Amino acid sequence: MGQGDHGYTFPHRGLIAASALNRVDLELIFDSARAHLSRNRTEDKKHPSLKGLTVINLFFEASTRTLASFEIAAKRLGADVVNFSAGNASLKKGESLADTANTLAAMQPDLLVVRHHSPGAAEFFQRTTGISTINAGDGANEHPTQALLDLFTLTEHLGDIGGRRIAIIGDILHSRVARSNVALLSLMNADIRLCGPASLLPADADRWGASVFHSVEAAIEGCDAVMVLRVQRERMQSGLIPSAREYAALYGVDHTRLSLANEGCIVMHPGPMNRGIEITSALADDEAVSVILDQVEAGVAVRMAVLELLAERGQQETVL
Amino acid sequence: MSGALFISGARLMDPATGRETAGDLRAAGGVIEEIGPGLTAQDGDTVIEAQGAVLCPALIDIGARASEPGAAGIENLDTTIRAAAAAGVGTLILSSSSGTGLTRPEDLEWISYRGLQSPVRLLGAACTHTPQSEMAEIGLMLRAGAMLVSDGGEIVSDTRFLRNLLSYASAFDAWVGLTAEEIHLSAGTVAHESAMAVRLGLTTRPGISQRLGVERLAALAELTGARILFERLTTADGLDALKTARKRGLELAASAPLTHLVFNEVDIGGLDPAYRLDPPLRGEADRLALLGAINDGLIDIIVSDHTPVALEAKANPFSDAAPGSASLEALIPALCMLDADGQLPLMAGLKALTSNPADLLCLPQGRLYEGAPADLVLFDPAAPNVYGKDGLESPAPSAFAGRRLQGRVLMSVVDGAIVYARPGYAE
């Protein structure tokens, strides 16, 4: 799909890191995602390009929305889907990750989708098994499909985001979403701003190709999009920030703070939201600015596009 | 209250510039309107004949404890405030360990509220951590008026937590006051480690405990970019470490408690619980090093470390007595005595209680110039003074009780208004 138009073959065996993608890769993915997005809105959503292929979703960390998004994406493409998730006993029997990988590989799946708490875990699976792997989040390292769906949503609303000012606000230190987004937004030459409490910002964040802010007002000023990140309760328990109340007062995004942004600024959140902490309910539900549900919808389409491109690539390898 | 205040014939001391001149001062509308020699009073002015007494900016005490919030105990906040006014303190910044602790934004709001009725400027420091040892709402407390953040004398032993805390606080450009001690050496001790204290059978901490504390905190300042105020440094070892750390271009400041400029460990020889202090009284070499450090600016600030301890808490053998001393009203007499004895020039002592804390916390007070807030103290530096003999505002036990000091506060002015006058003076 799409390769003919670009005279370019999607070169990646798997999707491990957003930072490995180039602009043509993004065009391929987004062209395909656009088609899936419109088909997903019709009654017959089936597009069986992965018919006969097996996709294993391997989620070592709890997830509802990302797992559901990948499962729906693969099923709409006609693949056979098996889910292993954190609660699943088979993932807790103390075997090494290499043994788990090899055991699953012996069942001859065609694609793996892996979420794990350790940076490098998805790459580890791909290297160990030789099977195309999509990173659905490896610790605080990368979450490439989230960044893709975010960029897709941004582009759908703002057009070319080159030069556009985009603030990412929250727990940057622990966020794979922020890291993957910075990679793609840099590639698109966006003007990136990172903002959060100093204890939740990496010490060298200013070297990520982004400007760093501790004041949320200053960060939002003149923005075309604001990405709000989830702040986890465990950050308070582990003494990184004081309280939900203080976080909401100092870093929470609401209509007043958003009024400092450019006209037409959109608000994004990767979910799940802590309403009243990092974002007010009124803002999250304001259809004029919030594109949070658009992100969720785009997620399925973008994941369908990625699965399809990797599957095509896999089939070509088989032919060769 | 519309009348201006005219003080004539004073010895004007401005620690910010080090200038000392004979002259007059006229304060109106809450600010110093005119200052210099040969001024004339206007009709309706309240005229004070200073007769050569020292007139300088009112003191700024950034480290006094009150018994409130919570149970008032021996000295309620109004009494502490009266003691501050009588001591020539115009700006009183309550320690974060006051009462049950200034740990919530509500506590700072309470201080603002109490400040409305207070003759002296009443402010507070925010505690770094909650009673549950979680990070306190530093941002909200600073927003509610906290002047700095402080551990209140309670050492934060978890270095990772301290790193996060300093990192978090650095975004607000706030000074973080911390206790520099190695907790495993200092916990449970009641005296400075010396031949004498060991012979007395007291549990002791060595001077290097403070050195280790300073080095640890300086390393964290370097890592996080935080501004650290070493609170209540008292040892030559700690000062050595501070001198080294200062060379690294970090934003560091240090304070010393008044008691440790006057007393040393010999004073605990009789095991009088009045001298049970935290940190404990140190050796004479430490005391002399502290005075030297104030004189040469290594230590920026003197604090009263005023701690009202209940009489019953002091009514115990030395080791079991609660630490602390009422010290506000000893500030000026102790500085005058140290000056008269040739131990610390008065100007250097005053600088550490006026312009230095003002500079550190960006306060407009603490200086003598036209347009500056009219916060002033007038005192007779030569008057003999046996502490407590003529009565005190603070009823709390004091290490200074019965000690021969020198000098007497005659009048305190805050915002152009006389908030304290010695009985019979300025009436």
Per-residue pLDDT tens listing for chain B (427 residues): 457 999 999 999 999 999 999 999 999 999 999 999 999 999 999 999 999 999 999 999 999 999 999 877 889 999 999 999 999 999 999 999 999 999 999 999 999 999 999 999 999 999 999 988 899 999 999 999 999 999 999 999 999 999 999 999 999 999 999 999 999 999 999 999 999 999 999 999 999 999 999 999 999 999 999 999 999 999 999 999 999 999 999 999 999 999 999 999 999 989 999 999 999 999 999 999 999 999 999 999 999 999 999 999 999 999 999 999 999 999 999 999 999 999 999 999 999 999 999 999 999 999 999 999 999 999 999 999 999 998 999 999 999 999 999 999 999 999 999 999 998 886 6
Convert the pLDDT of each residue in B95-135 to its tens digit. Answer: 999 999 999 999 999 999 999 999 999 999 999 999 888 99
Average pLDDT value for residue range A169-187: 96
Q: How far, in Å, are A16, A58, A62, A178 from residue A136 at the CA level? A: 8, 9, 12, 14
- B134 CB neighbours in chain A (<8 A) are 236-237, 239, 242-243
Locate A215 and state its tokens: 């004041």
Task: Report residue B82 as tokens.
Answer: 């009266």
Calculate mean pLDDT across residues A62-89: 90
Q: Are residues A151 and A235 in the same domain?
A: yes
Judgement on whether residues A154 and A271 belong to the same structural domain of the protein: yes
pLDDT confidence bin for A320, thresholds 50/70/90: very low
CA distance A140 to chain B (A): 18
Residue in B136, B161, B168 closest to A197 by CB: B168
Looking at the complex, does the CB of residue A216 fall below 8 Å from at least one CB of chain B? no
Neighbours of A228 (CB within 10 A): 26
Strand, helix or coil for residue A81: strand
Residue A117 near chain B (CB below 8 Å): no
Confidence bin at A318 (pLDDT 50/70/90): low
Strand partners, B192: B205
CA–CA distance, B301 with B258 (Å, rounded to integer): 10
Same domain membership, residue A268 and residue A217: yes
Q: What is the pLDDT of residue A236?
A: 78
B171 touches chain A (CB under 8 A): yes
Say if residue A236 is in the same domain as residue A133.
Answer: no
What contacts 24+ positions apart, CB below 8 Å, involve A202-210? A202/A172, A202/A173, A203/B223, A205/A172, A208/A182, A209/A182, A210/A168, A210/A182, A210/A186
Containing domain of residue A22, as a range? 3-143+297-319
Cis (ω within 30 of 0) for the bond into A272?
yes
Contacts for A298 with CB less than 8 Å, ≥ 6 apart: A33, A37, A149, A152, A153, A156
3-state SS assignment for residue A56? strand
Same domain, A244 and A301: no
pTM over 0.90: yes
Nearest CA in chain A to B162: A239
Question: What would the pLDDT profile of B269-311 be if each residue is shown by its tens digit?
Answer: 899 999 999 999 999 999 999 999 999 999 999 999 999 999 9
Q: Is the pLDDT at A88 greater than 80, yes or no?
A: no
Q: From B133, B145, B149, B139, select the one nearest B107 (Cα to Cα).
A: B145
Neighbouring CB atoms inside 10 A of B293's CB total 21
Q: Kindly state whether residues A200 and A260 are assigned to the same domain.
A: yes
Nearest CA in chain B to A245: B137
Question: Could you say which of A198, A203, A245 has the minimum Cβ distance to residue B168?
Answer: A198
**Per-residue confidence (pLDDT) for residue B1, from 0 to 100:** 43
Q: Would you give the distance in Å from CA A257 to the centre of its chain?
A: 25
Residue A92: pLDDT band (50, 70, 90) is: low
How distant is the Cα of B171 from the closest Cα of chain A, in angstroms? 6
Question: Do A137 and A33 lie in a common domain?
Answer: yes
Size of interface A-B (CB pairs under 8 A): 51
| Cα of B161 to nearest chain A Cα, Å | 6
Residue among A203, A240, A250 minimizing CB distance to B139: A250
The dihedral of CA B22, B27, B31, B37: what is its sign? negative
Q: Which of B139, B161, B224 sits opposite A239 (nearest CB)?
A: B161
On whether the CB atoms of residues B45 and B360 are closer than 8 A, the answer is no
CATH number at residue A225: 3.40.50.1370
* C-beta separation of B83 from B54 below 8 A: no
CA angle A16, A22, A26 (to 5 degrees): 85
- The answer to whether residues A26 and A85 belong to one domain is yes
For chain B, give every domain's residue range: 57-361
Structural domain count, chain A: 2
Nearest chain B residue to A212 by CA distance is: B171
* CATH no. for B57-361: 3.20.20.140
pLDDT tier for residue A29 given thresholds of 50, 70 and 90: very high
- Whether A207 and A137 share a structural domain: no
B107 touches chain A (CB under 8 A): no
pLDDT in tens, A129-169: 999 999 999 999 999 999 999 999 999 999 999 999 999 99
**Distance linking the first and last C-alpha atoms of chain A:** 19
Residues A137 and A153 in one domain: no
Residue B131 in tokens: 């009673």
**Structure ipTM:** 0.87
Q: Indicate if A97 and A167 belong to the same structural domain.
A: no
